[in-house]
Amino acid sequence: MTKKYWLMKSEPDTFSIDDLRERPDSKESWDGVRNYQARNFMRDEMKKGDLILFYHSSCKVPGIAGVAKVSMESHPDPTCWDKSSAYYDPKSTKESPRWFMVEVCFKKKFKSVIELSKLKELPELKDMILVQKGSRLSIQPVKKEHYDFIVNNLA
């Protein structure tokens, strides 16, 4: 089983890479995803040990803040059954859960955020989903060569 690479977006005002590091065991369940494409990646393809670029979105300086890894593979997201949760979904049942999450673990924080504006300038990264016009996918696969380039040359 070869390792895969991913990018996961989070709004740092809600949950930043520092928040992840400060959690117990530096682990957190990635709950609240309510997009089918993103769900399918978590449910079907993300495997324990896969590496994740932790991306800060909807903030002053959007960009990649560090690295995490998958510490537990997919299981149902319990917030979809919680009526008091913003993520409650009455169509998701215990018998047939609709939403899934993985657990991620902090690996490292980059000295500075690798800014989206910089990523967009680099010809080596022009095929990344992240930099495509109109791309909004909050969980996306990253090619190994893109991951390696970012970690080895930009971090």
Partner DNA sequence: GCCAACGTTGGC
Binding interface with DNA (CB under 7 A)? 9, 34-37, 57-59, 62, 116-117, 120, 132-138
CB of 89 to DNA, least distance (A): 8
CB of 117 to DNA, least distance (A): 5
Q: Which is nearer to DNA, 3 or 112 (CB)?
A: 112
> Exposed/middle/buried for 141, CB within 10 Å: 0-12, 13-18, 19+?
middle
Q: Which is nearer to DNA, 79 or 138 (CB)?
A: 138
**DSSP string of the chain, one letter each residue:** ----EEEEEE-TTTS-HHHHHHSGGGEEE------HHHHHIIIII--TT-EEEEEE-SSSS-EEEEEEEEEEEEEE-GGGG-TTSTT--TT--SSS---EEEEEEEEEEEEEEEEHHHHHH-GGGTT-GGGSTT---SEEEE-HHHHHHIIIII-
Q: Which is nearer to DNA, 59 or 155 (CB)?
A: 59
CB of 25 to DNA, least distance (A): 26
CB of 130 to DNA, least distance (A): 8
Q: Which is nearer to DNA, 112 or 132 (CB)?
A: 132
